[in-house]
Amino acid sequence: MARRPLPRILSNGSAQLVRSRELARTAADSATDVLHPLITITRGLRRLAAAGRRRWSETPKEKRGALLFLVASVILVVALMPYGPLLAAITLMAAAAWQGRERAASASDGPDESQAQRLQSLYEALVPYFSTAEDPEPLYSHGGTWEKAFPTYAFDGTGRITHLVIHYPAYFADGEAEARARIEGLLAAKSGRGREYHFSWEEEGNQLTVSVLMPLAVDIAAQRFVTAPGETVLGFTDPSRVQRTLPLSYGEQQRDVPPVVWRTGLRSTEPHLLALGQPGTGTSTLLRSIALQALQHGDVVIIDGGGTGEYACLTGRDGVLAVECGLPGVLASLEWAAAETERRLIAANRAHQAGHPPPDDTKRPLWILLDRPTAFTHLAAAQDRKDPQSLLQIPLRHGRPANVTVVVAEQLDTVEALGEPVRQHTRARVVLGPATAQQLESVLGAPPHTTPVEEVPPGRGYARLGMGPVHRLQVPATPNPYDDATSDAHRQAVLDLLPPRTTPADGETVPEPEGTEAEPLTTAPKPEPVPDPVPVLTKPKDSIPNPVPVLTKPAKTKAKAT
């Protein structure tokens, strides 16, 4: 069968069709350029009309009459104004032109090649934990894709994960601490070491949210905190964990930082504190910070088991009853503290039975701060003397109604040497420095929701008050002002918070030394002989009817002597 020739218009008219298409496209582009303002305004009017319809449909029926009256009133006012309709038309056209403008296409939200590879490797690492052979439609499988498992993700400038939402199957044992710990350790290792991650488990929705925590500020110096009596700032934490902030000063700047506030007193549920850490992690700094805050409203007795003079700056200050670093003085001070606790309890009980308020001398808080008390335990055992920790049983057990607070700081490797009353009655706990998850859980009673890191700055750790949540903690910088390695700014900040020197018994004021660093007290004129309050502490318990006036009111003793 012979082929019939193609029509002439199809055989040699292809060039004409191409030219016609080009002419039509050129004409359309020219018309679009000419009519572009009209097209933009028309598109904007259409969007404004759609927005008006949505607003009308969202308005409840009982409010539509008032809305119509408002629109009619506006139209009437515009119609009666000079040049009102013209201004209204210009405003409408401008709004339509703005709404009808061509918006730039948004950048693609998908990950790039390196980010997708990181997500895929993380997905493959989770397959052994989130998959089982009996699952007919597994969410996690070897060779699968991560899109359904990771609906939300974010990366930083270096390409590491900063936020990730993970869906896991319902049969995963998310209620077991060991299963959670395995997943958290794997995610921390795969997402990048050296950072702290916060894990939020949502058991109802089978969802895990992983977020990178920002480092806590380490440049917060010691200062006066805006707190009420009975509130002590242990340090500062993340803004998502607490609902309170404190105004702090950074040189000439002011900043609000969320604190970890420890409440003591009659209504406190955790009246005593235990701080643990390795050497150089900031436990002594925490005790100095607590002492400076406690001296605003109470008296302080300090027991220094380190023997390095970390609290020499507080010696002889108003409100500091004693700073002891020797075993005889420690035993005498703790015996007095136990007797004072009993005296306060008896006085308050008698006042309650008589229907009177407690005496004023039982309301002033008394703080007993002990740094490394286990050092005196070994020394007392070697000298066949009483263990100083045994004298803490009365202040620890009955300190809350007597306004007596005990704070103990000890090293992690000697925590087993602490007495049973100390471990039983210190419900507020702080762990500073690097520690494993097992150590944190054994001390705090609950695991933290973050991954501990190996290298942390001094004063960095975790805190838990009673049965509350575990907080990240950064203790404010409160160094020893007599230490040569201390910066001038931090040294001056601590010196500004120190109370003045105690007035001698003869009534003469000891002048403060010149310069930023405090020097030992200058030799004052020899006073008349007065009874020394220190030997009173070493007398038997029954010979101390009321030891508080002996320590806190030396002026009256001088008056009696004269």
Q: Six-digit token pair at 180?
A: 């959670």
Separation between Cα atoms, residue 84 and residue 90, nearest integer Å: 10
405 in any annotated domain: yes
Residue 535 covered by a domain:
no
Residues 344 and 470 in one domain: yes
Q: In this predicted structure, what is the pLDDT of residue 356?
A: 92
Examine the domain organization and report whether 267 and 159 are in the same domain.
Answer: no
Distance CA 142, CA 249 (A): 54
Is 279 part of any known ligand binding site?
A: yes
- Domain membership flag for residue 172: yes
pLDDT at residue 233 in the model: 95
Residue 188 and residue 121 share a domain: yes
Q: Are residues 197 and 272 in the same domain?
A: no
Secondary structure (DSSP) of 58-126: HS-HHHHHHHHHHHHHHHHHHHHSTTHHHHHHHHHHHHHHHHTSPPPPPPP-S--HHHHHHHHHHHHHH
Shared-domain flag, residues 166 and 262: no
Domains of the chain: total: 2
At residue 92, the pLDDT reads 85
Q: Is 281 marked as binding a ligand?
A: yes
Examine the domain organization and report whether 287 and 390 are in the same domain. yes
277 marked among binding-site residues: yes
Contact in structure between 483 and 245 (CB atoms under 8 Å): no
Greatest C-alpha distance within the chain: 147
Could you say which of 212, 244, 259 is where a domain stops?
212
End residue of a domain, out of 437, 463, 496: 496
Co-location of 353 and 415 in the same domain:
yes
Q: Per the domain annotation, does 123 fall within a domain?
A: yes
pLDDT at 517: 46
Residue 68 lies in a domain: no
Domain boundary among 184, 212, 240: 212
In a domain, 304, yes or no: yes
Which residues constitute the domain of residue 285?
231-496
For residue 265, what is the domain's CATH number? 3.40.50.300
pLDDT score at 104: 52
Q: Determine if residue 283 is labeled as part of a ligand binding site.
A: yes
Is residue 475 within 8 Å of residue 497, measured between CB atoms?
no
Token look-up 């917060």 returns 220
Residues 154 and 237 in one domain: no
> Is 379 in the same domain as 427?
yes
Are residue 200 and residue 249 in the same domain, yes or no?
Answer: no
Q: Is residue 59 part of a domain?
A: no
Question: For every one of its 562 residues, what pLDDT tens digit does the chain have, with 9 covering 90 and above?
Answer: 455 554 554 445 555 666 767 777 777 667 666 777 888 888 888 888 888 888 887 788 778 888 888 889 988 888 888 888 888 888 888 888 888 777 654 444 567 888 888 899 999 999 999 988 888 888 999 888 898 899 988 888 888 888 999 999 999 988 888 899 899 889 988 888 778 888 989 988 899 999 988 888 888 889 999 999 999 999 999 887 788 889 887 767 788 899 999 999 888 999 999 999 999 899 999 999 999 999 999 999 999 998 888 999 999 999 999 999 999 999 999 999 999 999 999 999 999 999 999 999 899 999 999 999 999 988 998 888 999 999 999 999 999 999 999 999 999 988 899 999 999 999 999 999 988 888 898 999 988 888 878 788 899 999 999 999 999 999 999 999 998 888 898 999 999 999 998 765 444 444 554 444 444 444 444 444 444 444 433 334 443 344 334 344 444 433 333 3
* Residue 472 and residue 395 in one domain: yes
Residue 239 lies in a domain: yes
Q: Are residues 292 and 178 in the same domain?
A: no
